[in-house]
Structure 1
Amino acid sequence: MFEQLSLELLQSMGASKVFKENTRPINAIDFDDQGGFTLTSSDDESMRIYNANSGKLQNTVYSKKYGCSLGRFTHRSNNILHCSTKNDDSIRYMSFHDNKYLSYFKAHTDKVLSLEVSPLDDTFVSSSLDKTVRFWDLNTPNCAGFINTDSAINPLVAFDPSAQVLALGTGNTTIRMYSMKNYGQGPFLSQLLEDTLVAVPPQWTRLQFSNDGKYILISTNSNVLYLVDAYDAVIVHRLMGHSNPLNIPLEGCFTPDAKYVMCGSSDGKIHLWDIKTGQKVHDFVYHKDLPRIVKFSPRTCLFASSDTNFVYWTAPPK
């Protein structure tokens, strides 16, 4: 388990490396298992791996034919998954160091909205506007199983840290919880999340579990994030204070010790909330544009953020 991060340490963190290679917004950030490398995929059809330890760009590949989104590391730091944004809706498995595709996962018939690798093994799960959640194994191109969501409205998935539970969000209103061993039997919990303070529910943009498995963070395209109890799927806090007037899809994150939540704002700031109180406790300042994605390293005191640029944030040396 990652050691607890003090608020004082977090507040000391600043932008330490800025990369300006991309010409369009970055649509995904992912760290490898050890936190030593960071993968980005961008709307400019490029994918890049950065060395988080040295703060240098390691490698760049392009996917001009198929586009790229939802770039994810597998458990091998040179092998990645990404989704297509044109020509078809396949998920592609790539060896990054030699720019070679190893396999294609073809079953979805509409845009893939979420792609998550199991924390434990070579399985992964995807959800799509075709109303299905599909289960895969890196070692075979065939779909290993699926769930019909009964709704094409924004299905999103997330693994809990044990990889024993899958959360499925549908319709921007409902969370269903499945046992990975028995997902074919249906959800063991289905909960409607009602936000009575808004007339129209915001669009959910990502689900994530905290590392202790106690909470689910729902990022949205509005000026609110939802902190949800992972056991009974009820809202614990509405996290607010950031702005997003253009309804751009945002992706916040937990800190690795599951004590804080971070997310970008249209004023360029990154906001930090205390999970216990739901109160904003700090702003990180560097970006001029909205930092759409914020992602903390799983192993080191470092986080990354992006608009069109990619930024590493670190604490000052002792």
Structure 2
Amino acid sequence: MEGILSYDSDSSDKSETPEGENAAAELFSHLKPIDKSNSVSNTIALNSTPVVVPTEDTSGLRHLDPKIKEVKYNPKYDELYAPQIGPTNPYKTQQFSATRNSLAGYVEDAHVNNFTFENQRKTFHSYGYAIDPTVDSEVPTEDKMLGDKEAFEENKGLTAFEKGKKREEDRRKRLRNDNPSDIEGFIGPWGKFVDEQTVMKPNEEEKAELDEILAKRAKTGKQVEEKSAEEKTTLHIKDAYDYQGRSFLHIPQDVGVNLKSEYPPEKCFIPKKLIHTWAGHTKGVAQIRWFPKSAHLLLSASMDSKIKIWEVYNDRRCVRTYLGHKQAVRDINFNNSGTEFLSCGYDRYCKLWDTETGECKGRFTSRKVAYCVKFHPEEDKQHLFVAGTSDKKIICWDIRSGETVQEYDRHLGAVNSITFVDQNRRFVSTSDDKSLRVWEWDVPVDFKYIADPSMHSMPSTTLSPNGKWLACQSMDNKICVFNVLNRFKYMRKKTFTGHMVAGYACGVDFSPEMTYLISGDADGKLYIWDWKSTKLYSKFKAHDDVCIQAIWHPHETSKVATAGWDGVIKYWD
């Protein structure tokens, strides 16, 4: 009993009777007396409800006071439902221990069906109020509602479902007469709406005035549609003819290359450096073409609605500008001699120009945008040309009469390219319908139709110099090759990849002796592949915008002209 603390009497009465003292002495006579001078009670006050300090917690959990109403952090599940620190309450029959039944912890059962929950959620999201979920009531009253009270009053407590549903009083009223015996006045379910407005009809005088106005409007509209832009031309060189009376169309002979040669160079090389830049267009260049056979001139069509012709040798000047389209020019093409060329633009006109004088010799329109134009390559058919249009047709025009002589209407999308093959007896067309069709000349039914689920649209095609292969720029970033002589067989192994052209009609061209294949791409790069192995030999940045066209000079070993949407034409060697 030495360890038991001795407590003084808390009685304030010190005058106890001697009898009481004697009785206490007899009662505790067997105990040893305690030295009151060393008693702990003199220095430590008694605390009947001491604070229980938890022992060192090794679990890493933070203690959560069950009495607090707000938590300033996201407690873990184990912290939120940890047992309270301290002894268990003997008077509480069951300690609450939630079992985890969801990823986030414990979810209590809620006795509310999905429709009611979604209805209240949408109401709160749309209007800012909903029924208090802790109240067992589905009737919205102001004291049982959470959120925006003003919106609650304004919408009369309607939920999102009730506001979306037309009530009987919201429906338009109809005139009703359901009495079948009333033969004259019976309406049935076909009665007019009560609030229906009747359309006022003009009287005879007003009608005549309106007809006159509409007739004038139709007349002026027709004139505007048929009127084409006025054609102009500008000569940029001092003299149109030299001292011998020769124009700029005359093939120069003092340039170190035989431009009249009928044979290609023996060996071609990859171009590496920029030797000239032709700048004169104010917008992107859409197409460039060499002058036929000699290629001593370069014709360019631009989105600034202008066509320009440039010198390739000597001073490399801009010779002449042809202005006659109201909108961007899409395609251009020379006849066999180069004395005339065709142009087509987004103003829905095809125009025939005299290359030397700049005179516009003919205007042709089908009221649809022509995407490509091409003269028939045969000498005896130079008065005919074909145009692929946006309304899925290929139209053949006669220059002499200005009339259409044939229509090839089998495509299911806009026609993008036309290429003559098989000694000009046939031509190939490609379209937005992701197909390739081969036509006999003057037969308006395609005799071969090539379409495959894996094929993409091929907006640009080029025939090889030997006439055996057709290279097609495909929209899935590759160049496909078809064998023209072997029933247009698709050469699956001869595919050129590496460039990015999806969405752009970038042109393709062969080197004159067919060693290389070149193409521009959407990033402004020029790509050069080996024709036999399909290996990518070279690529370099040619333009700041899309490199839309690349053409190899037919008489030079390594000279290539490229055109870009940055408005310049570049010459590489």
Give TM-score, length-normalised by structure 2.
0.49
1:33-87 residue CA offsets vs partner (Å, 9 max, x unmatched): 121211100001111101222332221222353542202222343422101312x
In the alignment, the residues of structure 1 paired with residue 416 and residue 283 of structure 2 have an alpha-carbon distance, to the nearest angstrom, of 26
Task: Answer whether contact 1:128 1:152 (CA < 8 A) is retained.
Answer: no
Q: 1:214 aligns with which of 468, 472, 477?
A: 468
How much does 1:285 deviate?
4.4
Structure in which a larger fraction of residues adopt helix: 2
Distance 1:156 1:299, change over 3 A: same
- Which residue pairs with 2:270 in the alignment? 11
How far 1:165 moved relative to its partner?
A: 1.5
* 2:298 is equivalent to residue 38 of structure 1: yes
AA at the equivalent of 2:330: S
Choose the corresponding residue for 2:349, options 78, 90, 94: 90
| Whole-angstrom distance in 2 between the partners of 1:295 and 1:116 | 17
Instruction: Give the CA deviation at 1:194.
Output: 4.6
Match of 2:93 in 1: none
The letter of the residue matching 1:136 is W
The aligned amino acid for 1:100 is E
Please list the CA deviations of residues 252-304 of structure 1 after superposition, one character each: whole Å capped at 9, or x if unmatched: 22222333221113443211122222221222444333311111233444321
Contact 1:32/1:74, CA 8 A, preserved across alignment = no
- Per the alignment, in what secondary structure is the counterpart of residue 269 of structure 2? helix
- Relative to its length, the structure with more strand (as a share) is 1
Q: 1:12 to 1:80 in 2, by over 3 A?
A: closer
Aligned counterpart, 1:113: 371
Q: Is the 8 A contact 2:329 2:344 kept in 1?
A: yes
Structure of larger gyration radius: 2
Residues 200-279 of structure 1 mapped to structure 2, 5 A cutoff = 202-230=456-484, 231-236=486-491, 237-244=494-501, 247-279=503-535
Residue 149, structure 1, aligned to residue 405, structure 2: no
Identity %: 15
Distance 2:432 2:353 in 1: 32
Output one character per residue of 1:105-124: Cα deviation in whole Å (capped at 9) or x when no partner. 23x23211221223333132
1:23 and 2:282 are equivalent in the alignment: yes
Q: Is the 8 A contact 2:416 2:459 kept in 1?
A: no
For residues 313 and 162 of structure 1, the distance between their equivalents in structure 2, rounded to whole angstroms, comes to: 31
Q: Note closer, same or farther for the CA distance 1:42–1:256 as it changes in structure 2 (3 Å cut).
A: same
Residues 286 and 167 (structure 1 numbering): CA distance in 2 closer, same or farther, change over 3 Å?
A: closer
Aligned residue-pair number: 301
- CA separation of 1:12 and 1:215: change in aligned 2, threshold 3 A: same
TM-aligned CA distance change 1:261 to 1:138, over 3 Å: farther
Q: Identify the residue that residue 198 of structure 1 maps to in structure 2.
A: none
Structure 1 gap ranges (5+): 196-200
Query: Which residue is equivalent to 2:360?
Result: 101
Higher relative contact order (CA 8 A, sep 6+): 1
**Which structure 2 residue ranges, 5 or more long, are not aligned?**
1-261
Matched residue of 1:208: which SS?
A: strand
Rounded Cα–Cα distance in structure 2 between residues aligned with 1:31 and 1:161: 22
Partner Cα distance (1:259, 1:79) in 2: 31
Alignment equivalent of 1:190, drawn from 410, 433, 449: 449
- Which of 49, 58, 64 pairs up with 2:309? 49
Name the CA shift for 1:99/1:27 in 2 (closer, same or farther; >3 Å). Answer: same
Question: TM-score, normalized by length of structure 1?
Answer: 0.84
RMSD: 2.4
Alignment counterpart, residue 570 of structure 2, candidates 295, 311, 316? 311
Given the alignment, which residue of 520, 530, 547 partners 1:291?
A: 547
Shift in Å at residue 153 of structure 1? 4.0
Q: CA deviation at 1:101?
A: 1.0
